[in-house]
């Protein structure tokens, strides 16, 4: 079957268009996605998303060269997936760093929560945060709730990274004193 015939099947909303596209381009589209992602499962998802995108876009658009059109979609899907994975890795790294920083305040959060009534620690921290000045509250929440990077927090708070870092250090020290005063830590 020719590309023109496959495109015509798309326009007729005939599901045979997907099968014919898969028969003709599956391996090539997989190769494109794999070169970008390096992961077969993610590549398969991108190729499947390509078929769906082609199905949804064909009634409004008739590509002149089907292969180029499909490759363009696959490439964009793979790049989007790669960006998403990198963003997730960055967030995971920020999460780990944030927990490490809070480890100075709460030596063993799991045992601290287990030793007290459910939610007692969370309630105390919420009260502490509520009483912080706005700038310090934004930094604390950005770092330990949203797991933003120090650079991002400093940027949206309009300060240098070193100022944000020292302010967070002082807030963690105050939190530790507050939790001791509340009887949650000795």
pLDDT tens, N- to C-terminus, the chain (186 residues) = 898 999 999 999 999 999 999 999 999 999 989 888 888 999 999 999 999 999 999 877 888 889 889 999 998 999 888 888 877 666 555 555 565 666 666 654 444 444 445 467 778 888 888 999 999 998 888 887 767 788 888 888 899 999 999 999 999 899 888 888 887 766
What b-and-e string marks burial along 108-133, b requiring 16 or more CB atoms within 10 Å of the CB? eeeeebeebeeeebeebbeebbeebe
User: Same fold for the domain at 3-88 and the one at 103-181?
Assistant: no
Domain boundaries, the chain: 3-88, 103-181
Q: Whole-angstrom Cα distance, residue 59 to residue 54?
A: 9
Q: In CATH, what class is 103-181?
A: mainly alpha
**pTM for this one?**
0.50
Domain with residues 3-88, CATH architecture: Orthogonal Bundle (1.10)
């Amino acid at each position: 079957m020719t590309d023109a015939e496959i495109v015509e099947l798309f326009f007729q909303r005939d599901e045979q268009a997907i099968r014919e596209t898969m028969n003709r381009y599956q391996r090539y589209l997989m190769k494109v996605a794999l070169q970008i992602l390096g992961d077969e499962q993610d590549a398969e998802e991108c190729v499947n998303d390509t078929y769906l995108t082609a199905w949804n876009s064909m009634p409004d658009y008739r590509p002149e060269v089907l292969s180029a059109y499909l490759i363009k979609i696959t490439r964009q899907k793979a790049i989007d997936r790669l960006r998403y994975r990198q963003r997730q890795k960055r967030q995971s790294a920020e999460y780990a760093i944030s927990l490490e920083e809070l480890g100075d305040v709460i030596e063993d959060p799991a045992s601290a929560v287990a030793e007290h009534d459910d939610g007692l620690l969370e309630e105390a921290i919420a009260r502490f945060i509520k009483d912080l000045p706005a700038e310090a509250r934004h930094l604390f929440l950005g770092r330990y709730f949203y797991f933003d990077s120090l650079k991002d927090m400093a940027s949206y708070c309009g300060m240098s990274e070193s100022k944000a870092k020292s302010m967070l250090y002082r807030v963690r020290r105050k939190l530790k004193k507050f939790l001791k005063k509340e009887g949650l830590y000795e």
